[in-house]
Amino acid sequence: MNSALTRRTKLTRTWIVILMIWGIALCGTAVASAAPLAPAIPPGAEASSHFDVAVATDAWLSQFSGPARKNSDSYFEGGYWLILWDFLATVAVMLLLLETKASAWMRDFAERIARLKLFQYWIYFIELVLAATVLTFPLTVFEGWVREHTYGLSNQTFGAWLSEQLIALGLTLVLGGLAFSALIAIVKRLPRTWPAWGAVIALLFVTIGAVIAPVFIAPLFNTYKPLENRVIKNQILSMARANGIPAHDVYEVDASRQSKRVSANVSGLFGTGRITLNDNLLARCSPQAIMAVMGHEMGHYVMHHIYNRLMFAAIQIVVMFSLLRWGLDKLVGRFGGRWRLLSPTDLAAAPVAILILTILGLLLTPIQNSFTRTQEYEADIFGLNASRQPDGEAEADLLLGEYRKLDPGPLEEMIFFDHPSGRTRITAAMRWKAENLCLFDPALPCESVSVAAKGPSSR
């Protein structure tokens, strides 16, 4: 997911993130000069009789060094801190709404102006989202606009950025409001068994969101059109046919409207599933890198990663809702009087629920990241086998290094990375190359003798 670090706990964007089940940023930044015709293979990474995975990996990694590498590391490490600031901001805002009894007031107001229960829930949700949006606005501006510009990753004027924030807010108020009202109705009607039924409803909304996102939501932010470059398109469709993917079109999106990052993704479900690559990718990557990226995206499709993600989300939701019910009973039992809450299932207890879910979300971050990172690694391996472009893969991984730290420690990667690090990915690509050297030089054997003799290479 594209820089999930900075978004996770932002209330206004949470629903958009969930709904879009967004992939899979793969390449790098800055729409620069024309795309290279082939990957510029560094000395040490060419196919040869003494090809060595570790040496080839380091050769690729050394291509991105100096101040640019420092800048990228600093950007990505700043993201670790943003997890903490987002968490603290959410906790502070929810405690403020409870301690000032504003939440109870918002409930009373909703009940006064609407007769129908469902409308009361919806009005309360609107009040809550607007309050949280206003209170966290300075942090949102810093995170979404100032910081992106400081690191040279954004193309947007403040006005354009703000108008997208307003569209996202509108979507949250409508779609999030629908889901919230349905959930509250279940909680009220089934106070004992709502964690199970609530999970069913939540999953239903996530699934509907995933189906409609590419058709109705994504076009609100960008223009999608079938890929125009016929040569690239034919190569991509050929690879799709070879892997049993019934694709007739590949889509191109004008991501350069917002950012300089290069990316591609698979989105949608059932009939709305599609593969999209962005214009930055087309402008900056060699055809080999584009094929490696597309092979990766096809891996997500063939291995049903979106469905697996939904199943994983279902398990997470059931566990979180069960803990949520327990936490609500405890906290509302203890502080309900002070916060003017009537019961654990009171509408005005929503900030308590958000507080608990935010804490659980923070604790689950490494597990969530490890789940998606594992899928991404699987897609990398599929992509290498499908595209047979290890150098294209390394080229793309290096471009990614412009906004994702290339060479973290193992624990750092486990906790904070929702995609494998550049080093992990390039190592996998060079390992694949070592066992397929004859594809790159017919005079070489099809497996690397030096690697076979040394045993499997790590990192």
Residues near Zn ion, by CB under 5 A: 24, 376, 379
Closer residue to Zn ion (CB): 168 or 292: 292
Closer residue to Zn ion (CB): 373 or 431: 373
Closer residue to Zn ion (CB): 86 or 380: 380
Report how far residue 193's alpha carbon sits from residue 129's, in angstroms, rounded to the nearest whole number: 27
Q: Which residue is nearest to Zn ion (CB)?
A: 24
Q: Which residue reads 């890929």 in tokens?
A: 227
Closest CA to 36 of 285, 233, 261, 260: 285
Tell me whether strands 274-278 and 251-253 are parallel, antiparallel or unpaired. parallel
Q: What's the min distance (Å) between Cβ of 312 and Zn ion? A: 15
Closer residue to Zn ion (CB): 59 or 264: 264
Closer residue to Zn ion (CB): 17 or 91: 17
Q: What's the min distance (Å) between Cβ of 99 and Zn ion? A: 42
Q: What's the min distance (Å) between Cβ of 238 and Zn ion? A: 21
Closer residue to Zn ion (CB): 24 or 45: 24
Closer residue to Zn ion (CB): 346 or 376: 376
Q: What's the min distance (Å) between Cβ of 211 and Zn ion? A: 20
Q: What's the min distance (Å) between Cβ of 293 and Zn ion? A: 9
Q: What's the min distance (Å) between Cβ of 374 and Zn ion? A: 11
The sign of the CA dihedral 157, 215, 9, 166 is positive
Closer residue to Zn ion (CB): 1 or 227: 1
90 φ/ψ angles, rounded to the nearest 5 degrees = -65, -45
Closer residue to Zn ion (CB): 64 or 382: 382
Structure tokens belonging to residue 152? 């040279």
Closer residue to Zn ion (CB): 358 or 369: 369
| Cβ atoms < 10 Å from Cβ of 109 | 14
Closer residue to Zn ion (CB): 60 or 301: 301
| Cβ atoms < 10 Å from Cβ of 167 | 14
Residue 275's DSSP bridge partners are 266
Q: What's the min distance (Å) between Cβ of 299 and Zn ion? A: 8
Q: What's the min distance (Å) between Cβ of 398 and Zn ion? A: 16
Q: How far is CA 98 from CA 105, 124, 352, in A?
A: 10, 14, 8
Q: What's the min distance (Å) between Cβ of 203 and Zn ion? A: 22
| Buried residues in 194-217 as b, exposed as e (16+ CB within 10 A) | bbeebbebbbebbbebbbbbbeeb
Structure tokens belonging to residue 141? 């501006």
Q: What's the min distance (Å) between Cβ of 379 and Zn ion? A: 5
Q: What's the min distance (Å) between Cβ of 425 and Zn ion? A: 10
Closer residue to Zn ion (CB): 184 or 379: 379
Q: What's the min distance (Å) between Cβ of 433 and Zn ion? A: 20
